[in-house]
Amino acid sequence: MKREARHYLTIGMAAATAAGVLLTGCGGSGSGGSKTGKLPELSEDRYVLDASKPAWQLDKKSETTELTWYVNADWWNTDWGTDTVTRQVKKDLNIDITFITGDDTKLNTFFAGGDKPDIITIFDANSSVAQSAANWAWSLNELADAYDPYFYEVASKDTMNWFSLEDDKTYGYPDYSNGQEVYDSNLLKATTAFAVRKDVYAAIGEPEMGTPDQFLDALRKIKEQFPDLIPFGSNSMTDSTGSLGADLQNFLGVPIENEDGTWYDRNMDEDYLTWIRTLNAAYKEGLISDDNFSDDGTAHEDKVKTGKYACLFIGGTPQRSGPLQVWRSSNPEAEYIAIDGPQSTVGHGPTLSQAGLSGWMINYISKDCKDPIKAIEIFTYLISDYGGLICKYGVEGETYTINGDGKYELLPEVKEMQQNDNEQFKKVYRLSEFIVFGHDKYDSYGADVSESIVQMQKWGEGKLKTQFIIENINPDQGTAEARSKSAIDTNWNTTLTSLIRCGSDAEFDQLLADHVSFREQNNWDSIVASYNEKMERNRQKLEQ
């Protein structure tokens, strides 16, 4: 779920300028202490601080705490206590959560109206909402010091430092934030692969496909021997660059910064453009279908389910594991396997990307929170391995067992519902769906990785590289540079499709020149200056 859900990132990426204005001086009138600007005292009758134990295990409050939690996405599941995961969270923490969902317009109304939900989840660390958090949210440092020092035992120091504001305090904590220690632990799996149908690859002699000439020769053999197949496909490109943008750049090892530490223009990298020209050559020979540029996600998956692609460049293998498994189950001899595929023409190795420090959903405790004590208990609980494993796998004996290898294995009836009635599975169990504090590391606990991507993950071992330095470097929301960046991205999405489909080298060069000209007319120099400024900020944080 989590990787698929990330395509909704754009829903929360643009907190409107008005929010930035309304945030100044906000505080509301909640009973959690915002009237006075001070946190409420912790009564000894409730519990005594013990840094060796999480506060939720100490808390003697008998009545159930009722909190509101706003998630800035209409797709969020608002059910509470009716599924295995949230029922267990409710039981452990003695809380009832009322979820509220919406978009940026609804988010802004909370700041315009005064009172805000107890907990707020947004999606953009660069937004004015996030950058002004000191005005409307409690710092997690203060809450942990006052109520739950065990929070520091479960929270990542790298993540806390990454999200700290100018006052050196941290207000929001994300899901899927992977620091250097997570990368070093080898818990993360590659999610990008150049895959070919095993039977097709064998039939054409298992050739190398590393150079442009080798790549084209292999696709020609496929077209000749398997005329009913599409020789090459990639992720849907109806509203983005699909897997042929950053995913392909990472696959080729395109640098992310210049030798002097400044921002590197990856879209204009000659190595990358050589391969885009190669794809153009493939298109002109009928080796890439026009459907690749018009199919939406569902149509693309339908082709995967039926093995229609001979070669497939995949960005996000876990999200395609379902359709890949459908094909594999009925055609095991023709399963999709990862091979080295296209390689850098200048000798770079793959630098595949996974989630970095910035995560995705960012969670805050507002100064209007009715019970900030319980709120920080929720954060500690869900960030901890105990809470994280419940959200991922459920309850031992009810949804999973631990096998002889120490791996979490779903019970047969649970797995059967997951595979054959996924909507009911989500409703009854909600495993891997309650992801506000989810983390990639929990994938490594499970025994149920889809067989369709196991070999692809093994191929990717050792190829993951961090990209911390270029995280969160987009211009601040509401600025002229941000609006220009959005226009440039849209123009590049269209340009990339046109580059692959154009009719001649001269047209290719003109399209590229037109895009460069469009950038220059839309604050490009200012955008690059913003990139460099924020990269320097990132560098300083990474060195702390």
DSSP structure string for 22-52: HHTT-----TTTTTTTSPPPPPTTT----TT
The CA angle 79-85-89, to the nearest 5 degrees, is 90
State mean pLDDT over 368-386: 98
Provide the pLDDT for residue 239. Answer: 83
CB 503 within 8 A of CB 284: yes
State mean pLDDT over 280-299: 94
Q: Is 65 left (phi over 0), alpha (psi -120 to 50) or beta?
A: beta
Tokens of 135: 């005005």
Are the folds of 2-35+45-178+358-394 and 192-353 the same? Answer: yes
**Counting beta carbons within 10 angstroms of the beta carbon of residue 448, is it exposed (0 to 12), middle (13 to 18) or buried (19 or more)?**
middle
Distance from the Cα of residue 526 to its chain's centroid: 27
Provide the pLDDT for residue 27. Answer: 36
Q: What is the DSSP string of 395-426?
A: -BTTTEEE-TTS-EEE-HHHHHHHHH-HHHHH
Distance from the Cα of residue 397 to its chain's centroid: 30
Provide the pLDDT for residue 32. Answer: 47
Distance CA 503, CA 509 (A): 11
pLDDT exceeding 70 applies to what percent of the chain?
93
Whether the pLDDT of residue 200 is over 80: the answer is yes
Question: Quick one: angle between helices 317-330 and 297-305, nearest 10?
Answer: 30
Distance CA 191, CA 3 (A): 10
CB 387 within 8 A of CB 89: yes
CA distances 399 to 85, 167, 301, Å, are 10, 44, 28
Side chain identity at residue 63, one-letter code: E
**Residue whose token pair is 């070093």:** 184
State mean pLDDT over 274-279: 98
Distance CA 363, CA 365 (A): 7
Q: Show contacts of 208-212: CB within 8 Å, 24+ apart.
A: 208/340, 209/311, 209/339, 209/340, 209/341, 209/342, 210/340, 210/341, 210/342, 210/343, 211/343, 211/345, 212/274, 212/275, 212/277, 212/278, 212/281, 212/342, 212/345
Provide the pLDDT for residue 177. Answer: 95
pTM score of the predicted model:
0.83
Whether the pLDDT of residue 20 is over 80: the answer is no
Q: Which residues of 29-68 are buried (b: 16+ CB within 10 A; e: fewer)?
A: ebebbbeeeebeebeeeebeeeeeebbbebbebeeebebb
Provide the pLDDT for residue 36. Answer: 55
pLDDT in tens, 29-76: 333 444 557 899 999 999 999 999 999 999 999 999 999 999 999 999
CB 102 within 8 A of CB 453: no
Q: 3-state SS of 96-119?
A: EEEEEECCHHHHHHHHHHCCCCCE
* Residue 262 three-state SS: coil
State mean pLDDT over 327-351: 97
Whether the pLDDT of residue 102 is over 60: the answer is yes
Tokens of 494: 């269209």
Q: How confident is the model at residue 182 (pLDDT cuts 50, 70, 90)?
A: confident
Provide the pLDDT for residue 322. Answer: 87
Whether the pLDDT of residue 532 is over 80: the answer is yes
Distance CA 299, CA 430 (A): 26
The second-level CATH assignment, the architecture, of 2-35+45-178+358-394 is 3-Layer(aba) Sandwich (3.40)
Query: In which element (H, E) is residue 433 found?
Result: none
Tokens of 453: 């991507």
Q: How confident is the model at residue 18 (pLDDT cuts 50, 70, 90)?
A: very low
Tokens of 87: 């029922």
Q: How confident is the model at residue 119 (pLDDT cuts 50, 70, 90)?
A: very high
The domain locations on the chain are 2-35+45-178+358-394, 192-353, 473-543
CB 160 within 8 A of CB 170: yes
DSSP label of 168: S
Provide the pLDDT for residue 11. Answer: 33
- How many CB atoms lie under 10 A from the CB of residue 402? 13
**Pairing between strand 95-101 and 65-71?**
parallel
Whether the pLDDT of residue 28 is over 90: the answer is no
Tokens of 347: 């000798």
pLDDT in tens, 205-257: 999 999 999 999 999 999 999 999 999 999 989 888 999 999 999 999 999 99
Provide the pLDDT for residue 543. Answer: 86
CB 247 within 8 A of CB 272: no
Whether the pLDDT of residue 337 is over 60: the answer is yes
Provide the pLDDT for residue 15. Answer: 36
**Counting beta carbons within 10 angstroms of the beta carbon of residue 441, is it exposed (0 to 12), middle (13 to 18) or buried (19 or more)?**
middle
Question: Average pLDDT, whole number, for the chain?
Answer: 91
Domain 192-353 has CATH 3.40.50.261: no
Provide the pLDDT for residue 9. Answer: 35
Tokens of 35: 């009237």
The lowest-confidence range among 30-44, 169-183, 283-297, 416-430 is: 30-44
pLDDT in tens, 249-272: 999 999 999 999 999 999 999 999
Provide the pLDDT for residue 184. Answer: 87
Distance CA 431, CA 2 (A): 11
State mean pLDDT over 131-153: 97
Distance CA 216, CA 208 (A): 11
